[in-house]
Amino acid sequence: MKIGFMGGSFDPVHFGHLAAAQDALERIGLDRLFFVPAAQAPLKSGVVQASGEHRLAMLRATTDDDARFEIYDCELRKGGVSYTIDTVRQLRVQFPDDTLYWIIGADQPERLHLWGEIGELVKLVEFIVLARPGYARTERTDIPGLRMHQCEGHLLSISSTELRERVRQGLPVDFFMPHKTIEYIQKTGLYR
């Protein structure tokens, strides 16, 4: 089987993530797709705004009714800084016979050399890079063994940073994220 994993903060999850996941699923022909919320992403400036519990709840509200999407919550359960290499080592044990893909947006390839033990990571997973407005396609010939599949996708110019700012300013976030996520943010008062 071909299994894709999309890591991120999902602070909050939005249609950019979901469309990218759907595009990867369809265009690469994945059999399963997991979102992997990080407890704390190593390369993010500042800490995440919403707790792991809230971010997981928002992801669940979105994926519970959708049989195509699953959640792999080991990074949240473990806590601390979440290194993809640790997660992937665990995944290799859990899925020994499958082809594993790590799905990233186009803002990530230029930072890939900064990822922990990238030389080991590239042996264990192939990367799928989803195009993202504002980020040029980046090839990395300097990372030996890197397998990177470019995926054009639907190009949604949406980021969690912008959505957190819109909530803070009291602007509507309709049409950028699922209705259930919006309800959750309103109910909990997140990002205000």
Which range binds ligand ATP by CB under 6 A, 15-23, 59-67, 141-149, 174-182? 15-23
Binder to ligand ATP among 18, 56, 128, 158 (CB under 6 A)?
A: 158
Query: What would the two tokens of residue 75 be?
Result: 């990074």
Q: Is 178 in the site for ligand ATP (CB under 6 A)?
A: no
Strand partners, 150: 129
Binder to ligand ATP among 34, 108, 125, 177 (CB under 6 A)?
A: 108
Q: Is 75 in the site for ligand ATP (CB under 6 A)?
A: no
Which range binds ligand ATP by CB under 6 A, 6-14, 58-66, 117-125, 180-188? 6-14
Binder to ligand ATP among 161, 165, 179, 183 (CB under 6 A)?
A: 161
Q: How far apart are CA 124 and CA 99, in angstroms?
A: 9
| 67 burial via Cβ count (<10 Å: 0-12, 13-18, 19+) | exposed
35 DSSP 8-state letter:
E
Site size toward ligand ATP (CB under 6 A) is: 19
> Is residue 23 within a helix (H) or strand (E), and if so which, with residue range?
helix 15-28
Neighbours of 17 (CB within 10 A): 24
Contact characters 128-147, ligand ATP, x per CB under 6 A: --x-x---------------
